[in-house]
């Protein structure tokens, strides 16, 4: 087997995060005194609820390891939370994880061996590819397209990539990076496909509450066949505690959860203080989520209305989460993002977004697309998107002139 400079194949082939790999460019720009509007990463500016910190302040005793499954009080809170959504998880069917990322990694590891296949819908949350690569599992894409609003591809497309090595389908709903909320019929078609082909469904539902325009984010637990459903969840975006790293994996399948428990034991336990503080978050009233969703919907409208009239752009109005994906009139979005950071300012300000190519597996797909995380207040978003539009106009004119 070929070696890579003394490193393992895993270490050499692990993809860099398309969200974070251009940060050094923004760091250099900010050192020059330029203000950079960061729309590249899903880190909202909303304040973490005070109850989280208040609970941590009351902690006393020993900051010890918790049960590997997580604090029983927190798992009980999760269980009651799910039942409000008519998702019938009992406390014993929930394991607290180090964020949603660990939940997805555990789910993949539980159902797939090295060289097995997991189907994803591209563009997808880019770290799925990293999690799978780390485990030696193949990520096999089925492509959704900007021109079709990034809707669920036809089931015939899933059939085309099905092999004897296929073990599961993995996707988020609401969607990251495109803000799509799948319909009941779309999700039913996925469940029917999974049942016909004896596959697991790993459903990433971390943005469950953030849905706009009166729509509903259905859980894959709404479609029966609970033994083949694994839910990956997180409190990071729901309560804006990204740094706390508290998520959950849940399934009615005891065999899967027994396997995940052994993985949880191997990494000992999730952060004790974060778990302790998170217990209080579940006591927030429904108005907290209503206000949060209303704020993101307002931000969504600002971004969409600012960008939709840019010539030759393909942009779809997001239905949930806090991301917008757009197809730009450029050949290479990553080159454009770098150019914005290195060469373009307006009133000593510029905007950073995420190139979308790293959210695809299919070669050359997404090279002309970007993701915008609308995680700033509306005033800053309006200015950031206006700067982006001005930069795009300057960039495309520069390219046209260079070809003459």
What are the angstrom distances between the C-alpha of 52 and each of 79, 271, 279?
19, 14, 8
* pTM for this predicted structure: 0.95
Low-confidence ranges of the chain (pLDDT < 50): 1
% residues pLDDT > 90 (the chain): 93
Give the integer Cα–Cα distance in Å for 366 and 402.
24
Q: What is the pLDDT of residue 4?
A: 54
pLDDT tens per residue across span 102-118:
999 999 999 999 999 99
What structural domains does the chain harbor? 9-46+287-397 (3.90.1150.10), 50-283 (3.40.640.10)
Q: What is the pLDDT of residue 403?
A: 60
Q: Is the dihedral of CA 141, 128, 234, 52 positive or negative?
A: negative
pLDDT tens per residue across span 254-272:
999 999 999 999 999 999 9
Nearest Cα to Cα of residue 284 among 51, 44, 46, 45 = 51
One DSSP character per residue, 155-169 reads HHHHHHH--TTEEEE
Cβ atoms of 244 and 235 closer than 8 Å: yes
Q: What is the pLDDT of residue 401?
A: 53
In sequence order, which residues have a C-beta less than 8 Å from that of residue 94 and are 6 or more positions away? 69, 70, 75, 78, 79, 82, 248, 249, 250
Q: What is the pLDDT of residue 21?
A: 85
Phi, psi dihedral angles at 42 (to 5 degrees): -80, 60
Q: What is the pLDDT of residue 3?
A: 53
Q: What is the pLDDT of residue 1?
A: 47
Q: What is the pLDDT of residue 13?
A: 86
Chain center to CA of 144? 16
């Amino acid at each position: 087997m070929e070696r890579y400079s003394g490193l393992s194949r895993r270490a050499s082939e692990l993809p860099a995060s398309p969200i974070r790999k251009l940060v050094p460019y923004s760091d250099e720009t900010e050192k020059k005194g330029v203000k950079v509007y960061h729309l590249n990463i899903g880190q909202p500016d909303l304040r973490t609820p005070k109850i989280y910190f208040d609970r941590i302040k009351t902690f006393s005793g020993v900051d010890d390891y918790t049960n590997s499954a997580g604090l029983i009080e927190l798992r009980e809170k999760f269980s009651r939370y799910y039942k409000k959504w008519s998702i019938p998880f009992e406390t014993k069917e929930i394991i607290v994880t180090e964020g949603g990322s660990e939940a997805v990694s555990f789910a993949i590891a539980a159902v797939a061996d090295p060289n097995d296949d997991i189907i994803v819908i591209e563009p997808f949350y880019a770290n799925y590819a990293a999690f799978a690569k780390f485990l030696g599992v193949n990520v096999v894409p089925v492509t959704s397209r900007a021109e079709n609003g990034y809707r669920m591809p036809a089931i015939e497309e899933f059939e085309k990539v099905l092999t004897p090595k296929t073990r599961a389908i993995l996707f988020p709903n609401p969607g990251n990076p495109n803000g799509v909320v799948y319909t009941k019929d779309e999700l039913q078609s996925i469940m029917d496909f999974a049942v016909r082909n004896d596959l697991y469904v790993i459903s990433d539902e971390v943005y469950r509450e953030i849905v706009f325009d009166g729509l509903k984010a259905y859980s894959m637990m709404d479609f029966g066949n609970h033994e083949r459903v694994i839910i990956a969840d997180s409190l990071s975006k729901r309560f804006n505690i990204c740094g706390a790293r508290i998520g959950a994996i849940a399934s009615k399948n005891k065999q899967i959860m027994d396997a995940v428990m052994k993985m949880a034991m191997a990494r000992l336990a999730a952060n004790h203080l974060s778990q302790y503080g998170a217990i209080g978050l579940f006591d927030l009233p429904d108005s907290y989520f209503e206000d949060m969703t209303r704020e993101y919907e307002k931000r969504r409208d600002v971004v969409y209305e600012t960008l939709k009239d840019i010539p030759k752009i393909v942009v779809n109005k997001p239905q949930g989460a806090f991301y917008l994906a757009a197809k730009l009139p450029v050949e290479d979005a990553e080159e454009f993002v770098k150019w914005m950071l290195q060469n373009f300012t307006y009133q000593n300000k510029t905007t950073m977004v995420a190139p979308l190519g790293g959210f695809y597996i299919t070669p050359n797909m997404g090279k002309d697309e970007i993701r915008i995380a609308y995680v700033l207040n509306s005033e800053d978003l309006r200015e950031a998107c206006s700067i982006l539009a001005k930069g795009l106009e300057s960039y495309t004119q520069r390219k046209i002139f260079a070809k003459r």
